[in-house]
Amino acid sequence: MTRQVEFDIALSFADNVNFFSYFWLQDMDRKQIFTIPNALSFYRILAFPVILWFVIADKERLFAVFLIINLVTDFLDGIIARVFKQETELGARLDSFGDNLTYVLAFTGLLVFKWQDFQPHMVSFLIFMAFLVGSVVMSLVKFKTTPSFHLYSTKISGYIQAAFFMCLFTLGFIPAFYYFMISWAIMAAIEHMIIQLIIPGMRSNVKGLYWILKEKRIL
């Protein structure tokens, strides 16, 4: 198969799948597409139906093992991308998509396997979901796409959530840890929404509100 044929296949796939249609693959270096961070993100995306099946089949141990693997790859892909200078627009969006699927699985597992422990704390979770969904809806309305800012606050929130879920499926439900996790997640979602109100167009790899305000010379 020639390189042009390979590229035509990739471009055809991009035209037919909305997630990838954002990118002009014909203008991208193959080295920017086939990277270790992107492979780890692809793994999380492809693992989603398998891990979801573990929930449906009531396989808590298998679910916990593969969820933790997903969480570890989420931690590693960002580090590898920064260390080896492999940060790209494609990588940022793949990472965000894979992260979203992973945390859908994590909270699904929380609701299914740990419902008795979690039920008394449901109100805080609903508040978090309201901010999270509000952020996504705001992005879809304003930018016609889902957000992929990769804020520092969101990255830290992801690490806290990963630690919480690892703890949850190994040591059990710890209310104090849960409220620390959910409070940070709500603050990160609020920062997300404020940034979306300020910036004129969608961007990736935004550090945080402080840097946006500094760019606009408000600070």
**What is the tens place of the pLDDT at every residue in 72-126?**
888 888 788 778 777 777 777 788 888 889 989 999 999 999 999 999 999 999 9
Lowest mean pLDDT among 15-19, 26-30, 34-38: 15-19
Q: Are residues 3 and 103 in the same domain?
A: no
Q: How far apart are CA 109 and CA 57, in angstroms?
A: 12
User: What tokens does 154 get?
Assistant: 């969101």
- Of 19, 187, 185, 191, the closest CA to residue 103 belongs to 185
Residues 40 and 20 reside in one and the same domain? no
- The arithmetic mean of pLDDT across residues 132-153, rounded, is 86
The closest of 141, 179, 181 to 159, measured between CA atoms, is: 181
In this prediction the pTM is 0.74
Q: Given the structure tokens 């198969």, which residue do they identify?
A: 1
CATH code of 101's domain: 1.20.120
Q: List pLDDT tens digits, range 180-212.
A: 999 999 999 999 999 999 998 887 778 899 998
Distance CA 44, CA 51 (A): 10
Q: Which domain holds residue 100?
A: 36-215
The answer on 40 and 17 residing in a single domain is: no
- Counting the structural domains of the chain, the total is 2
When pLDDT is cut at 50, 70 and 90, the band that residue 219 belongs to is low
Residues 41 and 30 in one domain: no
Say yes or no: 110 and 162 in one domain. Answer: yes
Burial of 24 (0-12, 13-18, 19+ CB in 10 A): exposed
